[in-house]
Chains A and B, each alone.
Chain A
């Protein structure tokens, strides 16, 4: 158990819908990262937040957005979902920007 929690574990929805994935980092960790893992794209970095502020953006679509709240939990919002958005979404946290990341168990999103 990494100490990072993600909810829900599984999510099945339809094209065009909007979903919110939630991540609670390890206690004391200020950095939260979001990744997408699919068979064809591998592990892709989406976005990084540090203590509530966005620090870096990776291959995150405009239909996706994220935020980190004052209590340091983070949410990833995916809208206008397409079949290709079906993937495992991982959240990871670290103490700061310069340490190992601890990954959550992931949310498996299926878009039908």
Chain B
């Protein structure tokens, strides 16, 4: 079962790039890495998913090194509305049963 850790909190100014890391030393071969954003009193919302190397979508990039023991979520030019808690989720998403492990969460505070 993958154990995942993240920095507790990060601060950024609006317009800056923010990189949030997740450590998952025990990641299994078939585990995928997914990042979610959560606002207070709401369910997590999908940001991006990857297996290896780099994935980019319209809102973020995900960097996964070759050993896959960590991953980095990159948010370009954050705005005040990006203030939220960010979680990585590690787990298998195929027909074979596996457990899903959320990271400890990183609280991002964006200010002017």
Contact = CB atoms under 8 A, between A and B. Distances in A.
Interface string A29-65: 0000101000000111100101000011110000000
A92 interface: yes
B104 A45 contact: no
Interface string B24-54: 0000000010101000011111100100000
Q: How large is the interface on A (under 10, 10 to 19, 20 to 34, 35 or more residues)?
A: 20 to 34
A90 B36 CA distance: 14
B43 A92 contact: yes
A58 B49 contact: no
Nearest to A2: B43
Interface stretch (A12-20, A69-77, A79-87, A99-107): A99-107
B93 A103 contact: no
Nearest to A99: B93
A48 B49 contact: no
A50 B91 CA distance: 15
B94 interface: yes
Main secondary structure of the interface of A (DSSP, over half): strand
B98 interface: yes
B105 A42 contact: yes
Contacts of A45: 91, 99-102
Nearest to A54: B97
B62 to A, nearest CB: 13
A2 B39 CA distance: 14
Given A43-B87, A97-B94, A98-B93, A103 B45 contact: yes
Nearest to A58: B99
19 contacts: A4-B43, A33-B100, A42-B105, A43-B87, A48-B97, A55-B97, A56-B98, A56-B99, A56-B100, A57-B99, A58-B100, A90-B44, A92-B44, A94-B93, A97-B94, A97-B95, A98-B32, A100-B49, A105-B42
Interface of B: 32, 34, 36, 41-46, 49, 87, 91-95, 97-102, 104-105
* A-B interface, 5 closest residue pairs, ranked by CB to CB distance from nearest: A103-B43, A100-B46, A43-B102, A98-B93, A56-B97
